[in-house]
Structure 1
Amino acid sequence: MAKHSLVIVESPAKAKTIGKYLGKEFEVKACMGHLRDLPKSTLGVDLEHDFEPVYKPIKGKEDIIADLKKSAKSAEMVYLATDPDREGEAISWHLKQLLNLPDEKTRRVTFNEITKNVVQESIREPRDIDQKLVDAQQARRILDRIVGYELSPLLWKKIRRGLSAGRVQSVATRMVDDRDREIEEFKPEEYWTLDANLFGDDAKKLPFAARYHGKDGKKAELKSAEDVDAVVHETEHAPFTVKTVKRTDKQRSPSPPFTTSTMQQEASRKLSMTPRRTMAIAQQLYEGVDIEGEGTVGLITYMRTDSLRISEEALASAKTFIRGRYGEHYAQTHRYKAKAGAQDAHEAIRPSNVNWTPEQLKKDLTGEQYRLYRLVWSRFLASQMANAVYDSVAVEVEAAGHSFRASSSSLKFSGYTAVYEEGKDEEKE
């Protein structure tokens, strides 16, 4: 039998896509996630001996473990290709332990995007398992277990059975409680707004509203009905004269490409998707979808990231696409800096090939896949486009020493808004 290599991924969809890119000398199998974990029935952490975890094979996974052991034994090399995050690194480490894989025939590979070039390049440049990432995942898992086992029984006793407490829920509950106390202690202050509906000398011109700003050149707040009545009384019969008119071009920059959190927020606002559903659909787009004429291809980069970094190759592709579709003036390369504290392990979420437009792929995608892919594609493309330019006019009107202000803007150059505008939780003014 010819020598072959075994590639272990997490899901069958990913196995199908990667298998197509690697050829006959590679056997690709799915481990279906974790194959061993802390036991369910006991704490599984030795508190007396440096918090040593006790791992057990997960019940129901015996057939998968046996099949992988058989394939690994006959393989010349085993590539552990689980997801490129802490959890994926830990799954690879557990697989190495569980399948008794020697160091010399075990390699770790990761794919930021599942495309032919990236998959083949990653296989050519494997690495060792990153023990620091594994330790980070283990620390989180052990902390989950310790906190959960200590707090969950208390919840069952005080509230109701079935509730779980852990590393995240406990802190989140504390934050909600702190915020609730702030709300209770808040002292509301009364304030009023006052608009003057004004007409120009020319009866054909439309009326406009000007908001009260202040008196004698200073900003003032109206804190009672009496304050409002006083201003109305003083200006009721006074002439309103235009004091200043300022006309400027204002620019608005595009939003950066998606990270995990911003993608979840926008999908909730624009698509009414829950974060869990958003991540499930994003996983499908990352792992691979059957596209007519292309086969199974990964459509977006890895969807668990806090980075805003974009590869130079992707930036160049976006620039070429924008020039061809919208024109030279619309293309403007933007490089975004990651926020302080971001791990920057992966790129921002973007389409793996910007030339695959949502319209081209629509017939091959489910409704949810199409809508989320269109959101990711549009956001990325817009992030590499020129600023939108608005013709802005600000007017200050004065009457009896009181000033009122009004502003208006109209789109002068669409820029990135030709493709995408970020949704807001509040309604637009």
Structure 2
Amino acid sequence: MPKNLVIVESPAKARTIEKYLGRNFKVLASVGHVKDLPASSLGVDLDNDFEPKYSIIRGKKKIIDELKKVANSAENIYLAPDPDREGEAIAWHIAEELGKKNKGKIYRVLFNEITKKGIEDGIKNTGPINENRTNAQQARRILDRLVGYLVSPLLWKSLKYGLSAGRVQSVALRLLVEREEEIEKFKPEEYWLIDVTFKGGQKALLKARLEKKNGKKYRVPNGEEAEAVLAALKAGSYNVNEVIRKEVFERAPLPFITSKLQQEAARKLSFSAKRTMMLAQRLYEGIELGSEGPVGLITYMRTDSTRVSPDATNEARGYIEKQYGKEFLSKGVKGGSKKKNVQDAHEAIRPTSVAITPESVKKILDTDQYKLYKLIWDRFVSSNMADAVYDQNTIHIANGPYLLKSQGKVMKFPGFQTLYIEGVDESKEKDQEVIFDVKEGETLNPEKHDSKQMFTQPPARYSEATLVKTLEAEGIGRPSTYASIISTLIDREYANMEEKRFKPTELGRVVCSLLIANFDRIFEPKFTAGMEEDLDSVEAGELTWKGVLRDFYAKFKPELEKAEKQFSANLKIEMKCPVCEKDLTIKYGRNGNFVACTSYPECKFTSNYERLEDGSFKLVPKEEDKPSGIECEKCGKELVFKKTRFGEVLACPGYPECKNIKNYVTLPDGEIKILAAGEEIGTPCPKCEAGLTIKGGRNGMFIGCKNYPDCDFTANMEVNEQGDIIPKYDKVDENVKCEKCGKPMVLKKSRRGKFFACTGYPECKNAKSTIVLEDGTISVKE
């Protein structure tokens, strides 16, 4: 039995580390957290100063027993989960489960990079579990539990089961909704651009734009004034008023921190924050590099420090000098300004070795891993390169009371831009890429005059990059949580992505209205940012975790008690009921949002609605039920087609007196075939070769094996060209792997729909939403 036990949270990380440590070390994985607050209760004793009631996570007892068994015979136990708050909590809970008899031989190890050097340094520099860090983590966990567990049920009662409120998630939703309201309220204003083109004495033409009138900034408000300005300019003469020539320097961006990596991957690679972090985790934990075995390619990816080790800096500078020449080296080591709440425990995100170039591993990494590794590698190497240098000249041209401006910029030395150019969120008009040789006092001859009508634009909806940027700037959440915040907004259907931008759904807007109306303080961005500062102070040892919880609950409890008595919001719209002229209000039913009369039950008017671009509402009449031509065998009325959440059915219009409902399929010739439970379809079961029959379930009709429960085959149904009912087989992406434990993921079904689940269940409970690709393949929704 090896003398030393190392415990990490990921099997992939365990394989990489064991390769470097040798035969005297055994490396085991906890597969994430082993203990947590219970799923079936609050798990926090509010009467005993917020004492948490942790329990072993379902499926983890077997893992804990294995860890105990090896730990009891080991001489040293090294706890090496990720070097952050969550990792510290995992280490703390594992130490608790290993018991007092092992306490004296337990050491906390931090691996900033999964390389031979990084692992050896970690083992040499062990320490105790950081109590302040674990306290910060459990304070965050309890805060999130209090809000989620106590507020979410209020949404279930008012709207529907399964909705969630989150301490940070709901603030992010508020940002999306408030931005949408800004867009709807925005009134575009007309203005006109006036451009004049001059002969520049070269092949290129000098272009200048009207900027000032009588020495003040000037915007032409309408076409009539634009015509008057053009007439005045044409009647006057153009003289060069001022020429400003200077060198302009553009500094290389600093190496990545977590938030900047998420933003840049969204801009340049169109990766979601969730996908970026998943890929970065794999690059950190280790990738099989042929005969070398698994190698960690990047340093730890959850950091907000731009600090870099001297060894890594020297390696990068050596590479730059050899590859590009001395003139491409930066003049000194660059560092970012010290920001508030920066956790400086880790380096910036960088390659573990500059010698492992993206091209050298391109054939080994999958496409997305390669793209992200190249982004990280390029950014880090370029951060040690010289500034880009431009020659820039600004020309001010006078004509009577008007002043025009022309700006040209030409690259003099590319510097870091040889390797890397930072992405931008909004495109700007570029300077002319030419320098004009004109002198002050010189008269210029106009080639042509142009005017162009423009309108001011509303603020843009948030993209992944700009949402992450805003969350970071406002201090809402932490970079390590942004990916889960964003994916929750999508998964809960609080927002959709339209043209790579977030648009809140009607459900999201109703949820937001309810939460703000009843918990305005708790879901206010500045309050949430203040809580993040308090958690950082707990980690720094400046505040106690229970003190932070007491302060929070003192503010939260009065709002909660009030909301539990009356949880409502003003959801009235600016339209009157067409039946009784009373106000209409938004309601939510099992089939989604609708409007209803506020005088219910006296007036039972309801209608679907559409929200227009300016935020106003349009009532959408309900579709008339389409007759089927089939007689109801119970009451003789003609069955009609009705839409339900499970699809279209045939239903009796005599409801509720007659509740006859039929499932059906449409045959190729247009004939309607009514389905009957127990009907055999004439196709053998692909599992056991017995017959297949039509069955009825809570989610509608499906095909199942007649040998159930001995055979559990099930499938949806479809009609082939011959009119036969046959099983419909999903085309499933077979390459979906669990990023937590590395095992394959399979497609499962629940009452909420299809999802991917890890085959390592119950040890690994990872699950992912699905998306249907253009070719019909069901894959993971990022």
Q: TM-score range by the shorter chain?
A: over 0.9
Matching residue's letter, 1:298: G
74-83 vs 309-318, which moves further: 309-318
The 10-residue stretch of structure 1 (390-399 or 413-422) with the greater mean CA deviation from structure 2: 390-399
Counterpart check, 1:26 vs 2:25: yes
**Secondary structure in structure 1 of the residue aligned to 2:345:** coil
Higher mean alpha-carbon deviation, 222-231 vs 66-75, is at 222-231
Report deviation, 1:317: 1.2
* 1:193 alignment partner, SS class: strand
Q: What is the 5 A alignment of 1:99-248?
A: 99-101=98-100, 102-180=102-180, 182=182, 189-200=189-200, 202=201, 205-248=203-246
Give SS of 1:144's match.
helix
- Taking structure 2 as the reference length, what is the TM-score of the superposition? 0.53
Question: Following superposition of structure 1 onto structure 2, how do residues 322-401 of structure 1 map, counting pairs within 5 Å?
Answer: 322-332=320-330, 333-401=333-401
Match of residue 263, structure 2, among 256, 260, 265: 265
Shift of 1:118: 1.5
Q: Please state if 1:59 is matched with 2:91.
A: no
Q: Which moved more, 1:367-376 or 1:64-73?
A: 64-73
1:167-205 deviations in Å (ceiling 9; x for gaps): 2123223444454555566665543322112234x5x63
CA contact (8 A) 1:18 1:114 kept: yes
Residues 85-100 of structure 1 correspond to what in structure 2 (within 5 A)? 85-100=84-99
CA distance in 2, matches of 1:211, 1:407: 10
Asked if the contact 1:309–1:338 (Cα under 8 Å) also holds between the matched residues in 2, the reply is no
Cα distance in 2, alignment partners of residues 85 and 396 from structure 1? 54
Instruction: Report the Cα distance in structure 2 between the residues aligned to 1:340 and 1:294, rounded to whole angstroms.
Output: 41
Aligned to 1:301: 299
Instruction: Give the Cα separation in 1 of the matches to 2:334 and 2:375.
Output: 19
Q: Distance in 2 between matches of 1:335 and 1:343?
A: 15
The code of the aligned residue for 2:320 comes to: I
Amino acid corresponding to residue 117 of structure 1 in structure 2: K
Distance in 2 of aligned mates of 1:193 and 1:255: 34
Matched residue SS, 1:194: strand
Letter of the 1:343 counterpart:
Q
CA RMSD of aligned residues (A): 1.8
Amino acid at match of 2:286: G
CA distance in 2, matches of 1:205, 1:417: 27
> SS where residue 123 of structure 2 aligns?
helix
Instruction: Give matches, 1:34-53, under 5 Å.
Output: 34-53=33-52
Opposite residue 358 of structure 1, the aligned amino acid is: P
Asked whether the 8 Å contact 1:338–1:344 carries over to 2, the reply is no
Q: Write the distance in 2 (CA, Å) between the matches of 1:326 and 1:292.
A: 29
1:99-133 CA-partner distances (Å, limit 9, x unpaired): 21532111000111111011012111210000110
Cα distance in 2 between the residues matched to 1:413 and 1:289: 37
User: Which segment drifts farther, 24-33 or 340-349?
Assistant: 340-349
Q: Is the 8 A contact 1:197 1:210 kept in 2?
A: yes
- Please tell me the residue identity of whatever aligns with 2:305: S
Could you say which residue in structure 1 is the equivalent of 2:402?
A: 402
| Alignment partners' CA distance in 2, 1:70 and 1:103 | 15
Note closer, same or farther for the CA distance 1:293–1:395 as it changes in structure 2 (3 Å cut): farther
Q: Which moved more, 1:172-181 or 1:230-239?
A: 172-181
Letter matched to residue 231 of structure 2: H
Note if contact 1:308-1:337 (Cα within 8 Å) is conserved in structure 2. Answer: no
Correspondences of 1:274-313 after superposition (within 5 Å)? 274-313=272-311
User: What code does the residue aligned with 2:47 have?
Assistant: E
Higher mean Cα deviation, 324-333 or 60-69? Answer: 60-69
Runs of at least 5 residues in structure 2 that lack an aligned partner in the other structure:
430-782
Displacement of 1:143 after TM fit? 1.0
More divergent stretch after superposition (26-35 vs 310-319): 310-319
Conserved 8 A contact 1:309-1:337: no
Shift of 1:248: 1.7
Listed as ranges, the gaps of 5+ residues in structure 1 are none
Q: 2-side partners of 1:125 and 1:407: how far apart?
A: 56
Shift, 1:398, TM fit: 2.0
Q: Relative to structure 2, which stretch is displaced further, 158-167 or 249-258?
A: 158-167
**TM superposition shift of 1:416:** 0.4
Mapped partners of 1:313, 1:174: distance in 2: 44
TM-score under structure 1 length normalisation: 0.95
Residue 425 of structure 1 corresponds to: 425
Do 1:260 and 1:303's aligned partners in 2 also have CA atoms closer than 8 Å?
A: yes
d(CA) in 2 for partners of 1:36, 1:193 = 63
Point out the structure with the larger strand share.
2
Task: Give the secondary structure class of the aligned counterpart of 2:389.
Answer: strand
**Match for 1:378: what amino acid?**
D
Q: Is residue 2:3 matched to residue 1:4? A: yes
User: Distance between the aligned counterparts of 1:314 and 1:20, measured in 2?
Assistant: 23
The higher-RCO structure (CA 8 Å, 6+ apart) is 1
Q: Name the structure where helix makes up a greater proportion of residues.
A: 1
**Amino acid paired to 1:224:** N
Letter in 2 for 1:265: Q
**Matches of 1:427 and 1:216 in 2, distance apart?**
30
TM-superposed deviation, 1:151: 1.1
Partner of 2:513 in structure 1? none
1:13 matched to 2:15: no
Equivalent-residue separation in structure 2 for 1:418 and 1:205 (angstroms): 27
Residue matched to 2:74: 75
Partner of 1:414: 414
Structure 1 residue identity aligned to 2:378: S
Other structure's SS at 1:364 match: coil
Residue 398 and residue 205 in structure 1: after superposition, are their counterparts in 2 closer, same or farther (change >3 A)?
Answer: farther
Supply the AA of the counterpart residue of 2:315.
S
- CA apart distance, 1:46: 0.5
**Partner amino acid for 1:151?**
V
Please identify the structure whose Cα radius of gyration is greater. Answer: 2
Partner-residue secondary structure (3-state), 1:14: helix
Question: What secondary structure is seen at the aligned counterpart in 2 of 1:117?
Answer: helix
Q: In the alignment, residue 148 of structure 1 is paired with which amino acid?
A: G
Following the alignment from structure 2 to structure 1, what is the Cα–Cα distance between the partners of residues 313 and 227? 58
Looking at structure 2, the residues matched to 153 and 270 of structure 1 have their Cα atoms a distance apart, in angstroms, of 40
Paired with 1:90 and 1:388, the residues of 2 have a C-alpha distance of 45
CA contact (8 A) 1:254 1:387 kept: yes
- Give the residue type in structure 1 aligned to 2:162: G
Question: For 1:90 and 1:183, how far apart are their aligned partners in 2?
Answer: 42
In the alignment, residue 377 of structure 2 is paired with which amino acid?
A: W
Q: Is the 8 A contact 1:81 1:92 kept in 2?
A: yes
- Which secondary structure does the structure 1 equivalent of 2:245 belong to? strand
Preserved contact between residue 270 and residue 423 of structure 1 (Cα < 8 Å): yes
Residue 62 of structure 1 and its aligned partner are, at CA, apart by 2.4
